[in-house]
Amino acid sequence: MKFTALLWLALIVLSGVGKNPIPKRLIGTYTGTQDSYEVMVNKSPVTIPSVNLTLKLSYNELLLSSPNKVTKGRYQVTAPTKKYYSLKVYFEDGTIENWQLFRRGKKILRDGLNPRPSMVFVKR
Strand partners, 121: 108
Say what the pLDDT of residue 21 is. 83
Strand partners, 53: 32
Per DSSP, the three-state class of 73 is strand
CA 74 to chain centre: 8
CB contact at 8 A, 85 and 104: no
Which stretch of DSSP H or E encloses residue 90? strand 84-91
Over the stretch 65-123, which tens digit does the pLDDT of each residue have?
A: 999 999 999 999 998 999 999 999 999 999 999 999 999 989 999 999 999 999 999 99
Say what the pLDDT of residue 79 is. 87
Q: What is the rounded distance in angstroms from the CA atom of residue 4 to the CA atom of residue 38?
A: 66
Q: What is the pTM of this model?
A: 0.82
What is the gyration radius of the CA atoms in the chain, in angstroms?
19
Total residues found in the chain within this entry: 124
Over the stretch 1-44, which tens digit does the pLDDT of each residue have?
A: 655 544 454 444 444 455 678 999 999 999 999 999 999 999 99
State mean pLDDT over 36-55: 97
